[in-house]
Amino acid sequence: MPEHREAHNELMRLNSRKQRVILDDQEEEIVYRALAESYQLKKTVNVELFDEYEDRRVIGIVERVDMQLNRFKVDGEWFDVRDVISANIEAYEY
């Protein structure tokens, strides 16, 4: 019965939701510095983002930063800074 399988899968998905990580002040500072360095020096940044169901990662150069809306743009896509779990500048540029 497909509808039972779908209901079961949805229940399993809801039960596997992750909790949002709250960064302390020092971790927030590291994130903001990495984003700023990527934007200003055109360096590749590796950003881990919160998602309730799966791991998300963005790797690229920050193109814009919008402090009013608390977001940043990489590869033409906007991301909310509040979703950032970690960010660091890539050690090697290609």
- Please list the residues that pair with 59 across neighbouring strands: 46
Tally the domains of the chain: 1
Three-state secondary structure call for residue 19 = coil
Q: Is residue 94 part of a domain?
A: no
Say what the pTM is: 0.76
21-67, pLDDT tens digit by residue? 788 999 999 999 999 999 999 999 999 999 888 889 999 999 999 99
Q: Is residue 81 part of a domain?
A: yes
Instruction: For the chain, report the end-to-end CA distance as a whole number of angstroms.
Output: 51
User: What number is the average pLDDT over the span 64-71?
Assistant: 95
Q: Domain holding 65: CATH number? A: 2.30.30
CA–CA gap between residue 29 and residue 21 (Å, rounded)? 15
The boundaries of the domain holding residue 60 are: 2-89
